[in-house]
Structure 1
Amino acid sequence: MLFYGFAVVALLTATVSAQARLWEQCNGGIGWTGPKTCVAGTTCYEWNPYYAQCLDAASPSTATTVRSTTTTTRATTLTTTTRSTVKTTTRSTTSSSSRSSSSSSRTSTVTTQKTTTTTTTKTTTSSGVCGTATFAPISAQSAFDALHPGWNIGNTLDAIPNEGSWNNPPITSAVIDAIKASGYKSIRIPVTWTHHFISSSPIWTIDPTWMNRVEEVVDMVLSKGLWAILNVHHDSWEWFDVTQFDNAGVEERFGALWAQIGDRFKCKNERLLFEPINEPPGTTDAHAAELNKLNDIFLTKINQAGGYNPKRVVTLSGLGQDTYKTINWFQRGTLYPNQPWGLQFHYYSPYDFIFRAWGKSTWGGADEKATLELDFSTFRGNLSGIPVVIGEFGGSPAGLEPAAAWRYFDWFTQMANKYHFSIIAWDNGDDLFNRTTLKWHNPAGQSVLINGAAGKKNALALGTTDGSVPQLSSAFIFHKVGTPVVSQTASYELNGNTLVSIKNGATALTSSQYSFSSTGVLTLTSSYLSTLYSTSSAPGVKAELTLTFSQGAFLTLTIVQWDVPVISQTNFANPTSDFRIPITWNGFNRVAAVRAVWDNGVYVSDDWTVWLPPLQQARWTFGNWGYEANSVVLWQSGADYLRSNKPAGVTNAILTWEFYPRDGYTPGSNAVNVTIGL
C-alpha cells in the first residue's frame, strides 16, 4: 500500500486553521480544512498532488526524494492495477507499466471452496523466556481462515511522521470494540518506523516510546479476541526501496528493525501474525531476488529473537504485493522450513472505477465480473495450496456511486470465498469507519461486505453498468424540482431473497405506500412521495429508507429532490493555486465527474477516452479536481496542467462539473460549466 488517498465523500465543514508546524500536513484533498501554509523556517513540500507536508526549508532535497519513492509504478494487467497512492483524504494512483504474463510452471488445481477454520487444542507450556504467556500453535491456513474478514487501521500508526499526522485520532479501545461488534475478525496494523529510529548505522535503534505505543495497540486488538497482523509499512518509500538504495544498507536496517520487533513481540499469542514489508517496490528479476533474500532476513531475525516466534504464522509477499508479480517472481526460501506461512497480495482494480478516473461511476457488467474472477483464479491456479490473504482492497463504499459499489463488493467477496482468499479491507479513516463518531460512513456498504464475506446471498440495487446516459441507480429516487410528483420505482437483484420491511427511520412503510414485485421491482406511490416533497419544495435529501431482506445485507434508498447546482461565478482567469468555487448544491452534494475540453472542443487530456462510453468521454482524472462542503475545487495540480498544456490558439478551458443524477453535460443537464481563462 502507499498513501491511499481515495475519495472521501463525507463532506467536511470548512474551518480556519493556523499554520502547520514542522512535519505537519499543509495540504490535502477532498474535505481538507487544515492549514495551507507552514510556520517560519519550514516549507510546504508536495509529495504528490494530494498530500503535502511542512519540511525544513533548508532541505528541499528531502521532499524530492520522498516524491520519487511515492510514484513508483506498479505492474498491472487489464484492470488489476495496484496503486501508488497517498493515504490522506483523496486518492490517486500512478499506473504506467503493463502487467506481466501470468504464465507459470507452478500451475495446479484451483481451490474453489473455503474450508472450515480449525484450531488445535495443544497449548505450549508456560515456561522460560515467555513466563506465563501461552501460545497455541496453529497452521497457517487455519490462521488465515480466522482472519476473514478483517479491517486495516490505515493512516494512523503508518502516518508520517507520527500517529496523528494524517488527520486521524489515535486508536482507542472503543474503536477496536466497534470494529469487532461490526463483524470483523482481525485487524491489520500498518506501522511506519522510519521516523522513530533514535540511532543509525550500525545500531538502528527504535525509540522505546514508539515501540511501547505499537505494543499498546497490538495488545488492544489481541485483548478483544481479534487476530492481528503487524507490519513494516511506508518504510518501503523512504529507505527500503531496493530500486533506489544500496541493498546492503537496506538489509542492515531491515534486519535490525525486525530483530527489535521480533524481540518485543516474541511472547504474544498465536493470534499475532507478522508481515515483513508493505508493497515492496521492484519491477525486475534482480529486485525480486533481493526481496526473496530480505524475506529470509526477516525470518532469520524473528527466529533468532526466540520466544514463540518460530511457531508464529507469517504473511510473505512478492513485489508490490501485486498478483502477477508474485506469480512470476515469488520464491519461498529454504530457511526455517517449519515456519507456518502464507501469501498476501493487495487488490485495487479496476483502476478507473476504484479511483473514479475518467468519469467511471458504474460497475457490474459481465466482462467486469469476469476480469475480476480471472485475476483471482490465475493467482490461485499458479499458487494453489498456499494460504492467501488480500491484505488491502478498495475502494470506498462511501466514495463510489452506491449501487455500483455494493455490486462490486458483493462480487469481490464472492470471488474471495470461491478461491479461498481471506480479506482485510483498507480504511484510511474516511473510507469506511468514522473513528470519532464510531459510525460507518456507508452502513449499507459495510453490511454488503460483512454479509458477503460470511457467504450470505445479498440482494443488490440494480443500475447502469455500461456508462450510458442517463445513469440509473436503485440506490436513489430522484425527483426534479418543478416536475409533478408521480410514483417511482427502484429495481433489485434479489438473489433468492425476499423483502422483509422498508422503514423510514423507525417507521415501517405500509402496503398503501409501496408495492414490491416478485421480480424485485419496488414502487413507491405518489401519495407516499408527496409526504416527502412537492413540486416546489426545496431541493435536498428528503429521506433515507432502509430495506431489509430475508438474508444478507440491508440496503438504503436515498430520496432526493434536486435541481441544477448553482455556482457563484462561471468565468475565472488563470488560477495559480487551489481554486475554490462556492456552490449551492441543490440536491445530493457530490460531484460525479468533470468534463474538460479546450474552447476549440479538443479534449484537455486523454483523447483516447473518445472510445469510452458517453459518461466517460473527455472526463478528467480525479486528482485535478475535488469538492468540499461548500465548494467545488480546481486543485493547483489541475490549474498547472491547464497552463502547461494549453495548445496554440486556445484561450480557455471549459470544465463541466457533473452531479448526481448523471444525465450528461449538454444544456439542461445536471451540470454547470466553468470557463478558465489562460
Structure 2
Amino acid sequence: MDGGQRRIDEGRYRQVVEADHAQVGRDAQAQPTDRAGVMNRYKALWNQLATTFRSHSSRLVFESINEPQFAGTSGDAESDQVLHELNLEFVRLVRRSGGGNATRLLVLPTLHTSGEQARMDALMTTFDELDDPHLVATIHFYGWWPFSVNIAGGTRYDSNVEQDIIGTFDRAYNTFVSRDIPVIIGEWALLSYDYTRPGIIQRGELLKFFEAVGHHARTRKLTTMLWDAGSFLHRPELRWRDQGSYEMMKASLTTRSATASSDQIYVPRTGGITSRSLTLNLNGTSFRSLWHGSTQLTSGADYTISGSTLTLTQAAVTRLVGNRATGVNATIEARFSQGVPWRISVISYDPPTQATATGTTSGLTIPTQFRGDQLATMEAKYADGSPAGPANWTPYKEFWSSFRPDYSANTILLTPEFFAEVNDGPVTLTFHFWSGTQIAYRLTKSGSSVTGSPA
C-alpha cells in the first residue's frame, strides 16, 4: 500500500482498498471469462513458491493474496465466492507440496482485507470447509476514515474513532478468535500519516490512537503488524523517526498508558496569564507526578489534581512560558503508575494573521503569519452556507489534499484539487488553529483567476 497516494471514495470510507497490487492481485482482477486463465497462473505461481520453500523453517508464513478485489463480478457476494475458490485452491495446493508445508501457517484474507462482518462471515465459510487447524485469518485496519485522513472535522481521537476500533476488533474476535482461529491485523496505521506531510494528524491525537489500537488488539488476542513505508522507521539508520510514538506502540503490547485531552497548552503571548487545565484519560492508571526536565513540580504550588483534571497553577504557567517567545517554551511530563509518560508542550502564541492573495486555480498561496500556532483544519462554504470544494457533503476539507500549511514559508497553499470542484463566485474559508483561534478568509473565483483577502 502507498499510504501517501491512497484516496478513498467518501461513501465507502469503512473499506480500505489498496491502490497498488502485487501481480497476483492484478491477475485476480481479470474478467470472469478469463477466470480459468487467471487461476492457472495463480496455481503455477504458488506451485513454484510452495516447492521452493517447502523445507524452509516454520517461521515462514504464506498469505494467499494481498487485499483481493475482483473486476467484472456482480458485487461483493460474487467476489466473496471467487476469493473462496482461490483460497481453497491455495491451501490445498500448498498442503500437497509436502515437507514443512503440510503444517505451515497459511494466512487467508477477507475480500478487500475488510473488517466488515459480511466479509468475515464469507471467509469463515472457507475456514469451515477447509477444517485445517493451521490457518490464520487476516484483515487490515486504518481507523475511522475522517480521522485517518483529517476530513469532515476529524481532527481528534474521539468516540467515533474509539468505537471503530472496538467494533472492528470485536468482530474479528467473535468471528474467528472465539473459534480458535488466529487473526493478524496484517496492516494497520492511519492513511494520511506521513512524516513528509506534517500536521495532517496532530501528534497527541496520533499517540492516543496508537495506545488504543495496541490495547484493544491485545485484549482480543489479535496480532498486529504496523504498515510502514518509511514514515515510522528510518531504515538507513534503523532508528525510529519519532521515538515517543515507538515507545507508545511498544508499551501498548503489554500494558495501558494514560493520555490527556491534549498534549498542548496554548498561552497567549500578551495579557494576563491564568491557570490551565487538561483532562487526563487515565486508562486504568493512577497519576504519580509532574516533571519539567529533571525537576519535579510541586503538588499544590505548581499543579493540582482533582479526579481526572490536571491543573497547572498560574505561577507554574508563568514560569514555564518564560519570556513568552512564540512557539514551544517548555515541555512537561506527566508520569503514571504504568505505561509511557504523557508529554505536554507549553506554547506561547499570538493569533495568526493573513494577507491578500492573487493567483489561479492552479494554486493560491495565502500569506499566513502563524505566530506560534498550528493549523488544525479548514472549512469552505458558499454564500448560501453550503459546502464548497471537494467532498461537498462536508464543509471541512481534507488536510493536504485541499490545503497545505508551510510553517517555514508562512503560507497556506490552496491546491488545484480544491479549486477543481469550486464554483465561480465568493467562497468563505474558516481556518481552525489548535489554539482555538479561527480566521475567516474570503475567496472570489472567476474562471481560472482567484483572489482572496481576510474577511
* Same fold flag (TM > 0.5): yes
Question: More relative contact order in 1 or in 2 (CA 8 Å, sep 6+)?
Answer: 1
CA distance 1:597–1:555, change in 2 (3 Å): same
Whichever residue aligns with residue 314 of structure 1, its letter is L
Aligned partner of 2:258 among 459, 463, 469: 459
After TM superposition, the structure 1 stretch with the greater mean CA deviation from structure 2, 317-326 or 508-517, is 508-517
TM-score (norm: length of structure 1): 0.56
Deviation track 1:250-279 (CA, whole Å, cap 9, x = no partner) reads 323333333343344433322221212221
TM-score (norm: length of structure 2): 0.80
1:594 maps to 2:378: yes
Residue 225 of structure 2 corresponds to which residue in structure 1?
424
8 Å contact from structure 2 (residues 378, 431) kept in 1: yes
Deviation track 1:234-293 (CA, whole Å, cap 9, x = no partner) reads x53x43325688323432333333334334443332222121222111443322221122
8 Å contact from structure 1 (residues 655, 674) kept in 2: yes
Residue 621 of structure 1 corresponds to which residue in structure 2?
398
For 1:38-49, list aligned pairs within 5 A. Answer: none
8 Å contact from structure 2 (residues 2, 229) kept in 1: no
Q: Work out the number of aligned pairs and report it.
A: 428
Residue 653 of structure 1 corresponds to which residue in structure 2?
427
For 1:41-190, list aligned pairs within 5 A. Answer: 50=5, 81-84=14-17
Whichever residue aligns with residue 115 of structure 2, its letter is T
Whichever residue aligns with residue 331 of structure 2, its letter is E
1:4 maps to 2:16: no
Residue 223 of structure 1 corresponds to which residue in structure 2?
none
Aligned partner of 1:359 among 153, 175, 179: 153
Query: What is the distance in 1 between the residues matched to 2:91 and 2:267?
Result: 60
- Unaligned 5+ segments in structure 1 are 6-49, 52-69, 87-159, 161-191, 195-234, 463-472, 610-617, 664-668
8 Å contact from structure 2 (residues 147, 154) kept in 1: yes
CA distance 1:555–1:246, change in 2 (3 Å): farther
Per-residue deviation at 1:436?
5.0
8 Å contact from structure 1 (residues 595, 655) kept in 2: yes
Residue 188 of structure 2 corresponds to which residue in structure 1?
393
1:560 maps to 2:355: no
1:373 maps to 2:166: yes
8 Å contact from structure 1 (residues 74, 82) kept in 2: no
For 1:255-294, list aligned pairs within 5 A. Answer: 255-282=43-70, 283-294=75-86
1:671 maps to 2:455: no
Whichever residue aligns with residue 111 of structure 2, its letter is L
CA distance 1:543–1:269, change in 2 (3 Å): farther
Deviation track 1:506-532 (CA, whole Å, cap 9, x = no partner) reads 454455862342524333343443344
Per-residue deviation at 1:461?
0.6
Deviation track 1:199-245 (CA, whole Å, cap 9, x = no partner) reads xxxxxxxxxxxxxxxxxxxxxxxxxxxxxxxxxxxx53x43325688
Per-residue deviation at 1:674?
5.5
CA distance 1:245–1:446, change in 2 (3 Å): farther
CA distance 1:289–1:75, change in 2 (3 Å): farther
Deviation track 1:568-616 (CA, whole Å, cap 9, x = no partner) reads x43334322x554454432244x3111111245432155654xxxxxxx
* 3-state SS in 2 of match to 1:482: coil
Query: What is the distance in 2 between the residues matched to 1:243 and 1:408?
Result: 39
CA distance 1:587–1:307, change in 2 (3 Å): farther
CA distance 1:369–1:312, change in 2 (3 Å): same
8 Å contact from structure 1 (residues 346, 393) kept in 2: yes
Aligned-pair identity (%): 22
Query: What is the distance in 2 between the residues matched to 1:74 and 1:604?
Result: 15
Aligned partner of 1:327 among 120, 140, 165: 120
Residue 574 of structure 1 corresponds to which residue in structure 2?
360
- Unaligned 5+ segments in structure 2 are 447-455
Query: What is the distance in 1 between the residues matched to 2:105 and 2:140?
Result: 19
8 Å contact from structure 2 (residues 215, 256) kept in 1: no
Per-residue deviation at 1:84?
3.4
Whichever residue aligns with residue 598 of structure 1, its letter is Y
**Cα RMSD between the aligned structures?**
3.4
* 3-state SS in 1 of match to 2:146: helix
Aligned partner of 1:295 among 87, 93, 96: 87
Whichever residue aligns with residue 157 of structure 2, its letter is W
Query: What is the distance in 1 between the residues matched to 2:386 and 2:346?
Result: 37
Query: What is the distance in 2 between the residues matched to 1:505 and 1:370?
Result: 36
CA distance 1:409–1:333, change in 2 (3 Å): closer
Query: What is the distance in 2 between the residues matched to 1:580 and 1:440?
Result: 33
8 Å contact from structure 2 (residues 387, 393) kept in 1: no
Query: What is the distance in 2 between the residues matched to 1:434 and 1:657?
Result: 33
Query: What is the distance in 2 between the residues matched to 1:397 and 1:516?
Result: 37
